[in-house]
């Protein structure tokens, strides 16, 4: 029997990480997770097992902890690749806590690469972000769009710097063969089973969980930040991508690395739908698919918010054979199904 390809997933119990682990297990990869649980919970492992029938190998550990990191990589030195999700990820919070973001996101990447070199794990997929483009000039954003440094937030800057670090390390270290940086736009939604989804701690930073928590009565009202943008309905436009599309893209990119089908040692791909949806369009989609009326109010714009932001994802389709298939209604439907499941089943069982 052919041995399964092992992949290390850092931050594998988080929102994007856990969905990617599900996809990897379903594609018959062996997965080893390391996560410090600062933005997630161990319960995600149960949800992954419920969907796939497999409980992934899990280590609670911090990539910045030299000793625990060394022990983990010693145990999993037979891994073929790493998918690196582990990071603090809230744009607004990064403005309030810049040093925490710089220390956490960059230090963890440095120590990760150090262990990959030491234990000769040759390939890496980096969880990047469209925020690396900074103050862009034209839309849609392609992989050839200028990356303006510094980005508009410390979070975005950590993604810019980490991309450079990984690229430089691949160019300089013989044991690091190749890497792919995936620049996400706006991940939303939940697994189609309804058993796994986004679970933000505290007040959500993103639109979709704020919508579902408002519908569930957790939040009194949804704040729509500005309706005077230069867009068709006045609200800000973003490129929302379904979490299952995003998870699949990681598995496809991993296959490209494992099969050595890459064109360059370090490649970059945008992951989006190529179409923007306004805040009001998202609200209207949710109201249509849920049959509920949302309590929302229009308030002032947030400082630094762009009017419009969406991807050109053609390169991913050409090179990876990947294209987002889920529509906005699929995203709102799955997000609400997960919110209901979580409130009705999981929380009730904890009481």
Q: Three-state SS for 213?
A: helix
Beta strands (DSSP E) in the chain are: 6-10, 30-35, 57-60, 81-84, 123-129, 178-184, 186-188, 222-225, 237-238, 240-242, 266-271, 277-278, 296-299, 308-309
- Quote the crossing angle between the two packed helices 43-52 and 15-26, to the nearest 10°: 30
280: tokens are 């009001």
- CB 236, CB 306: distance < 8 Å: yes
Q: Three-state SS for 4?
A: coil
Per annotation, catalytic residue among 101, 155, 310, 326: 155
- Distance of alpha carbon 76 from alpha carbon 62, whole angstroms: 15
- CB 274, CB 314: distance < 8 Å: yes
Alpha carbons within 13 angstroms on the beta-carbon side of residue 291 total 1
Q: Which of 164, 189, 194 is nearest to 179 (CA)?
A: 164
- Distance of alpha carbon 79 from alpha carbon 62, whole angstroms: 18
β-bridge pairing 296-299 and 30-35: unpaired
Residue 232 has what DSSP assignment? T
- Distance of alpha carbon 187 from alpha carbon 181, whole angstroms: 16
Q: Which of 153, 284, 275 is nearest to 222 (CA)?
A: 284
Has 155 been annotated as catalytic? yes
Angle at 268 between CA 198 and CA 168, to 5 degrees: 110
Please give the torsion angle defined by the CA atoms of residues 76, 77, 78 and 80, in that order, rounded to the nearest 10 degrees: 100
In sequence order, the β-bridge partners of residue 182 are 127, 269
Residues belonging to the active site: 155
């Amino acid at each position: 029997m052919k041995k399964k390809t092992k992949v290390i997933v850092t931050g594998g119990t988080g929102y994007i990480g856990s969905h990617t682990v599900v996809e990897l297990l379903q594609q018959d990869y062996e997965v080893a997770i390391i996560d410090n649980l600062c933005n997630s919970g161990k319960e995600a492992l149960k949800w992954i097992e419920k969907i796939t029938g497999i409980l992934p190998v899990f280590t609670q550990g911090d990539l910045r902890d030299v000793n625990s990191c060394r022990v983990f990589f010693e145990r999993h030195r037979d891994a073929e690749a790493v998918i690196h999700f582990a990071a603090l990820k809230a744009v607004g919070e990064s403005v309030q806590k810049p040093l925490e973001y710089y220390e956490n996101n960059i230090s963890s990447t440095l120590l990760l690469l150090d262990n990959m070199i030491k234990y000769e794990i040759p390939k890496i997929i980096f969880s990047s972000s469209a925020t690396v483009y900074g103050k862009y000039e034209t839309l849609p954003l392609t992989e050839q769009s200028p990356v303006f440094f510094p980005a508009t937030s410390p979070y975005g800057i950590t993604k810019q710097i980490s991309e450079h670090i990984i690229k430089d390390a691949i160019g300089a270290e013989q044991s690091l063969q190749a890497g792919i940086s995936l620049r996400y736009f706006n991940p939303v939604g939940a697994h189609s089973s309804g058993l796994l989804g986004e679970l933000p701690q505290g007040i959500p930073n993103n639109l979709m969980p704020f919508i579902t928590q408002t519908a569930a009565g957790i939040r009194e009202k949804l704040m729509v930040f500005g309706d005077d943008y230069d867009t068709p309905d006045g609200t800000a436009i973003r490129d929302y991508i379904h979490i299952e599309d995003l998870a699949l893209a990681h598995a496809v990119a991993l296959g490209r690395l494992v099969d050595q089908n890459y064109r360059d040692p370090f490649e970059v791909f945008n992951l989006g739908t190529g179409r923007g949806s306004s805040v009001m369009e998202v609200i209207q989609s949710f109201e249509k698919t849920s049959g509920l009326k949302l309590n929302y109010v229009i308030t002032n714009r947030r400082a630094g918010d762009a009017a419009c932001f969406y991807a050109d994802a053609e390169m991913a389709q050409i090179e990876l054979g990947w294209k987002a298939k889920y529509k906005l209604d699929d995203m709102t439907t799955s997000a609400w199904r997960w919110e209901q499941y979580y409130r009705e089943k999981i929380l009730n069982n904890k009481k």
